[in-house]
Amino acid sequence: MSEKVLQYDKPSLQGTLTIPGDKSISHRSVMFGAIATGKTTVDGFLLGEDCLSTIDCFRKLGVKIDVEGTNVSIDSPGIEGWQEPTEVLYTGNSGTTTRLMLGILAGSTVHSVMTGDASIGKRPMRRVIDPLRQMGAHITGRADGQYTPLAIQGTVLQAIDYHMPVASAQVKSAVLLAGLRAEGTTIVREIEVSRDHTERMLRQFGAKVDEVDGVISLKGGQTLTGTHVSVPGDISSAAFFLVAGAICEDSKITLENVGINPTRDGIIEVLHNMGASITVMPNEDSQSEPTATITIETSTLEGTTIEGDIIPRLIDEIPILALLATQANGKTIIKDAEELKVKETDRITAVVDELKKLGANIEATEDGMVIQGPTPLRGASLQTYGDHRIGMMGAVAALITDGAVVLDDAECIAVSYPSFFEHVEEVK
């Protein structure tokens, strides 16, 4: 870990940025390309540490993957042709890699062992493993599979009709990916809509997936065929510059080719609700994922309530939205966000504790937080908890603080946004 001192003297932000590729879609492009037979090509791939962990895991399974800049090619014999790995599959800090791989490996023909870093070792895995075990998966691990390391013996699976207890794209995706290899038709029933990148990409690779009123069904035994995937800019990464542009004086930032998947665009809705000066110009030539050019300008913001079914559409953006709320007039309430407690860290506690150090008027609740604004912020030494989104929240805060912000571990930001600080320099 290395400290980073940030002192910007309240700059005016101006310019145009191309946000790095979407992390969720980058992960899935490699996973689906590895499951499929033939060649898959990807452009706009995110070269973040999490996505590189996914590549490393599939290379250990014998899949040929070449990386040239943000272009990736995957040449796979298909899941039936994978080699049994001789090394442990290391997923680093990536919950997406760990949980989706469980669904993929459960129906494979190989035995494997998977583990991650210290943060992954604390994150709950039974929410994925329980439905997979209902399908007949053979998975063992610490605390009966609650925590990594996990051992997976691939086997023949049976389809299930699964009622999701929480809105989680990772759980849904793991079950659907296992369903590809299961006998019968796998059904997943969502209580709230979660991000649908898996369903979209399954169709892109040639699978038939039906979805009616939150009920998703997938017939087992389907094979995937290699294809081309264009990865849009990650709206979760764009969120940090959308907030920066809204709260910094005399600012105007344009972000190009940002994914605006309707299961992920909650931050745009919240910015509109708070009175932000934001324009969204959809691109007409998007692939399976819709994209847009988004422009944000300095804004007079009003507090709002963020709750209910919008939460899964912006769960990763809540840390930066909390910072935004410190600069809005009146009270902002965030609730129904218990899921934050099982992210890379307990993000409710982490966000509240770190923003308080900066002088924010913020209190934690059982399922979210309450923020009173506007509040002038001051410099402080912040803890990132090794969490990339907490680190970037602190870095954006440094743009408006009186005094320097010191991050104890800025390197963690490379998990999702390796070029973050270079992009800050481009627009300030």
For residue 94, how many C-alpha atoms fall within 13 Å in the half-sphere facing its CB? 30
Residue 405 host element (H or E):
strand 402-407
Question: Is 347 assigned to a binding site?
Answer: yes
Question: Is 343 assigned to a binding site?
Answer: yes
Catalytic residue among 316, 346, 353, 402: 316
Question: Is 145 assigned to a binding site?
Answer: no
Q: Is 144 exposed, middle or buried (0-12, 13-18, 19+ CB in 10 A)?
A: exposed
Question: Is 126 assigned to a binding site?
Answer: no
DSSP 343: S
Q: How far is CA 312 from the centre of its chain?
A: 11
Any idea what the Cα angle at residue 74 is, between residues 389 and 90, rounded to 5°?
50
Query: Residue 285 contacts by C-beta under 8 Å, 6 or more apart in sequence?
Result: none
Question: Is 316 assigned to a binding site?
Answer: yes
Identify any residues that bridge with 18 across adjacent strands, giving them in sequence order.
256
Question: Is 24 assigned to a binding site?
Answer: yes
Task: For strands 111-115 and 89-90, give the pairing.
Answer: parallel
Whether residue 402 lies in the annotated active site: no
Question: Is 23 assigned to a binding site?
Answer: yes
Residue type for position 273: N
Q: Is 311 exposed, middle or buried (0-12, 13-18, 19+ CB in 10 A)?
A: buried
Judge whether 267 and 296 are in contact, CB under 8 Å. no
Residue type for position 272: H
Residue positions forming the annotated binding site for 3-phosphoshikimate: 23-24, 28, 168, 170, 316, 343
Binding site listing for phosphoenolpyruvate = 23, 95, 123, 170, 347, 389
Q: Would you please indicate which residues are annotated as catalytic (active-site) residues?
A: 316
